[in-house]
Amino acid sequence: MVSGNELQEMYETMVTARHYEERLQEEYLVGKQPAFDISAGPIPGELHLAAGHEASGAGVCQHLRDDDTVTAPHRPHHIAIAKGVDLKRMTAEIFGRESGPSKGKGGHMHLFDPDVNFACSGIIAEGCPPAVGAGLAAKKQNTDSVAVAFLGEGAIDQGAFLESLNLAAVQNLPVVFVVEDNDWAISMPKDRITDVENGARRADGFDMPGTRVDADDAVAVYEAAREAIGRARDRNGPSLLEVQVHRRMGHFMGDPEAYRPAEDQEAAEQRDSIERLESELRAHGVDDETIEELRDRARERVEEAIEWATEQPEPEPDDAYEDVFVNPPSGVTDSEPSLAETGGDD
Ligand SMILES: Cc1ncc(C[n+]2csc(CCOP(=O)(O)OP(=O)(O)O)c2C)c(N)n1
């Protein structure tokens, strides 16, 4: 049974993630209107917000330690927050600032934090093979750490996911795959991707346990994840978990969502995992004052991170070609000729 303390920790994680998304949404829109200019404002580039996904990140990561590895997809903030990624540096990365982990060049889909073994990627299912690698390393080094790969239901036919399931099973690795099913892959509804409504059944093909949590219920996610992560930590092999979540916003900021029926959007708003957990807290005797304190602390942390990130310097234009696998166009640097000029470096 989940303890009252753990419920409060999950709640704080979830309200931090929700407030973070709401504030990023506001910051993102600054300077981008009236004509949508994706490069303008404090957050340049694309932004995929995860409001409505919070139960999955919080319920799973509640069982994890810093030495456990987590990989996340292009909608990563709630998972990063739940894993304990440094919120200030992560925000600096999203704001394209020099103090971000990728010095502002990675943006919001390419966050990482080696202190808590977290990384994410914009390529769907791409986090699965590295999670299997982390699981293999844990096995070889004989530690009891585990790896968790998060992905969306739109990625469940990717070879990277299916091959990772297979390798994790064959090698009996401590890996948990968590599919966040929000019913949509951009504009593609789930029933046009697969005939199998319960994605956890894919685990059968690899002879590993598969569990689906149907509601946006952080406590149910917590219970299912306890089983799966405990199994991995005890060296009993991998598992697959599918969690029903809801996308409260567009696929990306600026998505007009013309493809989405209004009732689907309304249902997403009604099935709020945070409200649900709040009722659970009250049922555990947690009073209004404590709930308000948790919310205030979450808001303060988010505001501090945004303020700090905003004060960080922009990267120097001269550093644009540092730390990247791209050659500067001819004439941009005079120190070294580009590969195009030398014909390659082999
Ligand atoms: C390998 C690959 N193919 C296509 C894309 C383009 N793409 C970005 S997000 C997305 C849909 C993802 O849907 P889902 O996995 O369900 O996650 P959600 O966005 O719903 O959270 C696609 C196809 C990509 N990033 N990577």
CATH label of the domain that carries residue 259? 3.40.50.970
Give the CA dihedral 59, 63, 68, 70, nearest 10 degrees. 0
From CA 107, how far away is CA 99, in angstroms rounded?
Answer: 12
336 assigned to some structural domain? no
> Is the distance from the beta carbon of residue 185 to the nearest atom of ligand 1 less than 6 Å?
yes
From CA 248, how far away is CA 192, in angstroms rounded?
Answer: 20
Q: What is the pLDDT of residue 35?
A: 83
Closest CA to 111 of 162, 77, 138: 77
Domain encompassing residue 156: 4-315
323 assigned to some structural domain? no
> Is the distance from the beta carbon of residue 78 to the nearest atom of ligand 1 less than 6 Å?
no
> Is the distance from the beta carbon of residue 135 to the nearest atom of ligand 1 less than 6 Å?
no
322 assigned to some structural domain? no
Q: What is the pLDDT of residue 335?
A: 55
> Is the distance from the beta carbon of residue 245 to the nearest atom of ligand 1 less than 6 Å?
no
**Atom of ligand 1 lying closest to residue 160 CA:** 1
**30: which 2 tokens?**
């600054």
288 assigned to some structural domain? yes
> Is the distance from the beta carbon of residue 75 to the nearest atom of ligand 1 less than 6 Å?
yes
342 assigned to some structural domain? no
As for how many domains the chain has, the answer is 1
* pTM check: above 0.75: yes
Closest CA to 178 of 21, 30, 57, 9: 57
Residue 174 in contact with residue 238, Cβ under 8 Å? yes
344 assigned to some structural domain? no
Residues in the chain with pLDDT values less than 50: 339, 342-346
Place of tokens 């199994």: 231
233 assigned to some structural domain? yes
> Is the distance from the beta carbon of residue 150 to the nearest atom of ligand 1 less than 6 Å?
no
Q: What is the pLDDT of residue 345?
A: 40
> Is the distance from the beta carbon of residue 152 to the nearest atom of ligand 1 less than 6 Å?
yes
Q: What is the pLDDT of residue 336?
A: 54
Q: What is the pLDDT of residue 145?
A: 98
**Atom of ligand 1 lying closest to residue 126 CA:** 1
Smallest CA separation from ligand 1 atom 24, residue: 123
Give the CA dihedral 60, 63, 69, 73, nearest 10 degrees. 10
**Atom of ligand 1 lying closest to residue 155 CA:** 15
Q: What is the pLDDT of residue 332?
A: 66
